[in-house]
């Protein structure tokens, strides 16, 4: 067990995951050792020729079968309930969490901060600040895994998945790709560097790109002609996108969705998927014209126009709008 205890608990969720883990280890050890003791002691006691008392043997007993059916059932319901609480926490990023975008490709992690800072195979985060990662892949499935934080989330092509954590220890922690992704899967990784907030601010300043993500997105918004239809003075009848991010949208098919990252991405690449109520499906697809990083910048721009909008939706809510 030395292996796990040598692994630092470096996120706010880690102690709770570990408590659950150690409880399960204890439960398993009790039963496994119990089975072992029963087998070894019966093997010795009831070996052929031993004088042990063998009267009162039974071939079956409903009471006994029910006992070892119902006791595990009760235990499992207890563990299930406990897990629910930990799990609920893992799926609900705090409202003040700060978004960082992650784009995975064979075999590299690219991260982009809202201020335009870009990193490869590294992610710098401030201590104590909830960080919410919005992730996608350019090719195959990858999985973002930081053992010290006890978090893992698959990163899929064609959609966004999310993950959040609050780092609670300073230092550099290994980042792995956990989902087998081909030739150099073993070497796809990096480090998550947790810095004191003041150091982090200095790091941000020292690594600032030419422009922030939102500014780059605004430029793309104009360059690709989005503003021609969706802008304030557009003559085409298209939904106004100012302040859209995080709001509920009524669709032509009667359903509603939250305008989150995934919704915006789908609307750009597959515009016929979510047609807004009251609008004709006129928009062409921009699939192939925008890279994953461009999409992320566009989303950051739309987000910046909605600063006043309410809290970001819970991660769980992301998955509730179905694709089919």
Residue numbers 64-103 binding another protein by CB under 8 A: 64-65, 68-69, 72-73, 76, 79-80, 83-84, 86-87, 90-91
- For another protein, the binding residues in 102-131 under the rule CB under 8 A are none
Choices 121-129, 151-159, 199-207, 303-311; region in contact with another protein by CB under 8 A: 151-159
**CB 193 → another protein: shortest distance, Å?**
16
What lies within 8 Å, CB to CB, of 172 at 6+ separation is 191, 192, 193, 194
Token duo for residue 49: 């020729």
- Judge contact between 132 and 163, C-beta under 8 A: yes
**CB 223 → another protein: shortest distance, Å?**
22
**Buried/exposed code over 265-289 (b: 16+ C-beta within 10 A; e: otherwise):** bbbbbebeebbbeeeeeebeebeee
Place of tokens 């979510």: 274
- Three-state DSSP state, 76: helix
Place of tokens 């081909």: 182
**CB 143 → another protein: shortest distance, Å?**
6
Which CB, 147 or 243, lies closer to another protein?
Answer: 147
**CB 3 → another protein: shortest distance, Å?**
4
- Judge contact between 297 and 217, C-beta under 8 A: yes
Choice from 150, 216, 230, 274 touching another protein (CB under 8 A): 150
Choice from 161, 166, 168, 212 touching another protein (CB under 8 A): 161
Choice from 118, 152, 169, 224 touching another protein (CB under 8 A): 152
Which CB, 247 or 323, lies closer to another protein?
Answer: 323
**CB 224 → another protein: shortest distance, Å?**
18
Dist. CA 206–CA 88, nearest whole Å: 37
- For another protein, the binding residues in 266-305 under the rule CB under 8 A are 270, 287
Choices 95-103, 138-146, 239-247, 299-307; region in contact with another protein by CB under 8 A: 138-146
Q: Which residues, listed in sequence order, are joined to residue 305 by a DSSP beta bridge?
A: none
Dist. CA 115–CA 308, nearest whole Å: 19
Residue 164 engages another protein in binding (rule: CB under 8 A): no
CA distances from residue 121 to 95, 173, 293 in whole angstroms, order as listed: 27, 12, 15
- Judge contact between 298 and 223, C-beta under 8 A: no
What lies within 8 Å, CB to CB, of 76 at 6+ separation is none
Choice from 15, 96, 128, 139 touching another protein (CB under 8 A): 139
- For another protein, the binding residues in 168-227 under the rule CB under 8 A are 174, 176-187
Which CB, 97 or 117, lies closer to another protein?
Answer: 97
- For another protein, the binding residues in 18-37 under the rule CB under 8 A are 20-21, 24-25, 28, 31-32, 35-36
């Amino acid at each position: 067990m030395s292996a796990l205890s040598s692994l630092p608990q470096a996120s706010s969720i880690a102690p709770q995951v570990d408590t659950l883990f150690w409880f399960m280890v204890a439960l398993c050890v009790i039963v496994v050792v119990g089975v072992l003791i029963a087998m070894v002691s019966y093997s010795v006691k009831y070996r052929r020729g031993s004088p042990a008392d063998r009267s009162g043997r039974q071939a079956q007993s409903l009471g006994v079968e029910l006992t070892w059916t119902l006791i595990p059932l009760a235990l499992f319901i207890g563990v299930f309930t406990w897990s629910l609480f930990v799990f609920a926490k893992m799926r609900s990023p705090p409202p003040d969490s700060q978004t960082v975008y992650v784009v995975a490709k064979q075999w590299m992690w690219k991260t982009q901060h809202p201020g335009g800072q870009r990193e490869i195979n590294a992610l710098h985060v401030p201590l104590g600040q909830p960080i919410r990662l919005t992730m996608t892949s350019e090719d195959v499935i990858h999985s973002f895994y930081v053992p010290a934080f006890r978090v893992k989330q698959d990163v899929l092509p064609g959609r966004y998945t999310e993950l959040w954590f609050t780092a609670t220890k300073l230092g550099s922690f290994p980042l792995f790709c956990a989902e087998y992704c081909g030739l150099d899967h073993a070497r796809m990784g990096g480090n998550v560097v947790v810095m004191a907030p003041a150091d982090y601010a200095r790091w941000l300043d020292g690594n600032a790109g030419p422009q922030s993500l939102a500014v780059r997105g605004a430029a793309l918004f104009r360059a690709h002609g989005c503003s021609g239809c969706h802008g304030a003075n557009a003559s085409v009848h298209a939904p106004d996108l100012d302040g859209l991010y995080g709001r509920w949208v009524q669709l032509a098919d009667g359903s509603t969705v939250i305008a989150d990252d995934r919704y915006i991405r789908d609307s750009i690449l597959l515009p016929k998927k979510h047609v807004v109520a009251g609008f004709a499906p006129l928009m062409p697809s921009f699939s192939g014209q925008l890279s994953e990083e461009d999409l992320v910048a566009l989303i950051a721009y739309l987000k910046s126009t909605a600063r006043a909008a309410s809290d970001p939706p819970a991660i769980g809510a992301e998955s509730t709008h179905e694709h089919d």
